[in-house]
Copies of this chain bind each other. A is one copy, B any other.
Amino acid sequence: MSSYSPIGPVVGIVGAGQLARMSQPPAIALGVELRVLANNPEESAARVIVDTRIGDYRDLGDLREFAKGCDVITFDHEHVPTDHIRALAANGYVVHPGADALVHAQDKAVMRERLTRIGAPCPAWARVSSADDVASFAAEHGWPVVLKAVRGGYDGRGVWVCRTPDEVAEAFATGVELMAEAFVPFDRELAVLVARSPHGQGVSYPVVETVQENGICVEVIAPAPGLDQEQSAQAQRIALTVANELGVTGLLAVELFQSERGLVVNELAMRPHNSGHWTIEGATTSQFEQHLRAVLDLPLGTPRMTAQHVVMANLLGGDDPDLFKRYEHVMAHDPGIKLHFYGKEVRPGRKIGHVTALGSNLDEVRARARHAAVYLMTGEYT
């Protein structure tokens, strides 16, 4: 560490969305200088990070220019081409997570192959290149069949739950590379967030329940209510094993289905994750601080919860562009509610912020988070 200036190391984040934005508070505390690669200066993180560079994350020249002077490079999203990441590493830049790990969060087929090999629980799956392939898959595993874009999907985009061959045709009409997965009739969705540092230290946050609507997470409950200790330990073991086997450096979020046949891995992400926003106030070390510590190969912080129950509710944009005017009510109504706005223009359905409530009575905590979120989004009093 002795090569850093008195001001601390420079961490470059490719992408300037809300995850980069929410990394700035712990960076400020730790004396770590953030640099972001943004598409434009109006982006969420660009508004709050002085060293903002404008460029295209798909352009290797832009990435190389951005990387100069960074002590570590990491990511706000998974969309940087894997080969560009390899090229940066070949140029001697330190990149966390590295390409060999990150590809598993970029390519769902590569992820399924690897998870299957290491024995992590997966749904039945197959690469498919035609409606006939899907029909064969369905003959074996039944309908519905879940078709997924192998690369580039997020927040429910790039996922088609097909109940008929016609719906399959629709998915193929998009022209993107697809894979098929058996539909998992799940009871609920869970997520586990773990951190792993380059020298191999790992920690796991408590398992949470994530509540989705239309493929978008709307609520996260920490810890997952009523989850038995054995299944909780199993979920954490799966995530730590995946992080270790894949050589993840930084954060890994594992989304799981809880089903009759047990836990099944749904998706992976290798960065701070929406299912971990509750940690900003709800854990001694937030996921954003943890990611910085991990990519800088510093000792990890304790993931201990600061309250018995923590509930986060996402704020999705509606018709009204001016949510700030509703602060007065929610703050007066609940002096303990924590508000987070991402500095993004409001567009319908867009994640523009979140709220977090903490306390010892779960029903109350959920009601507080819901009240604040609904009021901020709609002006309706629940």
**Residues in chain A within 8 A of chain B (CB atoms):** 1-2, 4-9, 21-22, 24-25, 28-31, 33, 46-50, 52, 280-281, 284-285, 293, 298-302, 304, 306-307, 321-325, 327-328, 331-332, 335-336, 338-343, 345-346, 353, 358
Contacts and interface: CB of A to CB of B under 8 A. Distances in A.
A332 B302 contact: no
A345 B31 CA distance: 11
* Secondary structure class of chain A's binding surface, majority of residues: loop
A373 to B, nearest CB: 15
A2 B325 contact: yes
Given A25-B24, A28-B24, A31-B353, A300 B49 contact: no
Contacts of A22: 28
A30 B304 contact: no
Given A25-B24, A324-B9, A327-B298, A31 B336 contact: no
B47 A33 contact: yes
A160 to B, nearest CB: 33
A328 to B, nearest CB: 6
Contacts of A325: 1-2, 4
Contacts of A4: 322, 324-325
A331 B1 contact: no
Contacts of A6: 321-324, 345-346
Nearest to A281: B284
A328 B299 CA distance: 6
B50 A1 contact: no
Contacts of A343: 7-8, 28, 31, 33
Given A4-B322, A8-B324, 4 more contacts: A22-B28, A24-B48, A29-B339, A284-B336
A26 to B, nearest CB: 8
